[in-house]
């Protein structure tokens, strides 16, 4: 019995350390620019140019972008293909079968992706912010790219022109009697169009746009909420005094 327990414990620890080595890295905190219209507009531009070819955002209407300060004319001129109408949702023309051949699966719809990826590591925005900044070259993969936040991802590094190419650096440490690789930082292999700081800012804009797109009513929700709370607090005072006025007779 003791042996069984012991072997169980050992296997638990060893499997844990093996897991730790391949585990994804902790998520970075995405900048919060959810009320920064300029950033959101820049994010929308990046989204339409880089994401909206393979990914759809089928619940998001183009003309909802007026909420982040764009006019319908601006949307038509800059973000729409000539055949699209401004009241349509962000659909794409890619054939799902081809997508399966190219990436191993249909790229997911991105409308509410920022909400779906929240977890114990942080918000969905944190996850996407980390994910889009941790691509590296991996010749073993069909696309030639791999990712630290999403190991063996099917999507290639779409933003590589902007970021350039990077290589993750590891420290080798001993953990539970095994050698384990611990991620320590990045090495820039070739420069991109943007400096690392500019790239982080651009991805920050994109992620904030996706966060906004996942719930376009969110700023409105908070604004209305403040007034509702103020009303209820005042009403609470009235209800409290009303109650006291009636109950003063009860002994």
Partner 1 sequence: MAEFKEISPNAPMAEKALNWVDNRFPLSKLYKEHLSEYYAPKNFNFLYFFGVLSLLVLVIQIVTGIFLVMHYKPDAATAFASVEYIMRDVPWGWLIRYMHSTGASAFFVVVYMHMFRGLIYGSYRKPRELVWLFGCAIFLALMGEAFMGYLLPWGQMSYWGAQVIVNLFSAIPFIGPDLALLIRGDYVVGDATLNRFFAFHVIAVPLVLLGLVVAHIIALHEVGSNNPDGIEIKAHKDTSGKPLDGIPFHPYYTVHDIMGVTGFLLVFSAIIFFAPEFGGYFLEYNNFIPADPLKTPLHIAPVWYFTPYYSMLRAITTEMMYALIVCVIAAAYLGATRAAISSTLKAAVIGGALVLVGLMLAIDAKFWGVVVMGGSVIILFFLPWLDHCAVKSIRYRPDWHVWLYVVFVLNFFVLGYLGVKPPSLMGERVSQIGTLYYFGFFLLMPWWSRLGETKPVPARVHFVAH
Residues 84-123 that bind partner 1 (CB under 8 A): 108-109, 111-113, 115-119
Q: Does 174 bind partner 1 (CB under 8 A)?
A: no
Q: With CB under 8 A as the contact rule, which of the stretches 129-137, 155-163, 166-174, 242-250 interacts with partner 1?
A: 242-250
The minimum distance between CB 17 and partner 1, in angstroms, equals: 17
For 65, the token pair is: 């972008």
Measured from the CB atom, the residue of 169 and 242 that comes closer to partner 1 is 242
The minimum distance between CB 22 and partner 1, in angstroms, equals: 15
The minimum distance between CB 198 and partner 1, in angstroms, equals: 31
Q: Give the number of other Cβ atoms within 10 Å of residue 69's Cβ.
A: 12
Q: With CB under 8 A as the contact rule, which of the stretches 68-76, 151-159, 165-173, 211-219 interacts with partner 1?
A: 211-219
Size of the site for partner 1 (CB under 8 A): 41
The minimum distance between CB 210 and partner 1, in angstroms, equals: 12
Site string for partner 1, 47-66 (x = CB under 8 A): -----------xxxx--x--
When binding is defined by CB under 8 A, the residue of 3, 97, 184, 251 that contacts partner 1 is 251
When binding is defined by CB under 8 A, the residue of 175, 196, 216, 219 that contacts partner 1 is 216
Q: Does 38 bind partner 1 (CB under 8 A)?
A: no
Q: Does 240 bind partner 1 (CB under 8 A)?
A: yes
């Amino acid at each position: 019995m003791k042996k069984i327990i012991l072997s169980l414990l050992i296997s638990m620890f060893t499997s844990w350390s093996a897991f730790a080595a391949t585990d994804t890295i902790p998520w970075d905190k995405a900048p919060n620019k959810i009320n920064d219209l300029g950033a959101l507009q820049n994010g929308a531009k990046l989204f339409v140019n880089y994401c909206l070819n393979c990914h759809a955002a089928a619940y998001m209407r183009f003309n909802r972008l007026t909420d982040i300060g764009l006019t319908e004319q601006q949307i038509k001129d800059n973000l729409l293909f000539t055949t699209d109408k401004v009241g349509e949702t962000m659909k794409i023309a890619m054939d799902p079968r081809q997508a399966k051949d190219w990436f191993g699966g249909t790229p997911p719809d991105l409308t509410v992706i920022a909400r779906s990826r929240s977890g114990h590591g942080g918000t969905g925005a944190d996850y996407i912010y980390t994910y889009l900044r941790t691509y590296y070259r991996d010749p073993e993969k069909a696309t030639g790219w791999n990712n630290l936040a999403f190991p063996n991802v099917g999507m290639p590094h779409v933003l590589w022109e902007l970021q350039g190419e990077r290589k993750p650096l590891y420290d080798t440490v001993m953990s539970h009697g095994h050698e384990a690789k611990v991620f320590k930082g990045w090495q820039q292999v070739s420069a991109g169009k943007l400096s690392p700081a500019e790239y982080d800012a651009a991805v920050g804009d994109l992620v904030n746009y996706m966060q906004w797109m996942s719930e376009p009513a969110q700023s409105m929700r908070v604004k209305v909420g403040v007034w509702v709370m103020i009303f209820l607090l005042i009403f609470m005072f009235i209800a409290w005094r009303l109650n006291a006025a009636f109950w003063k007779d009860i002994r």
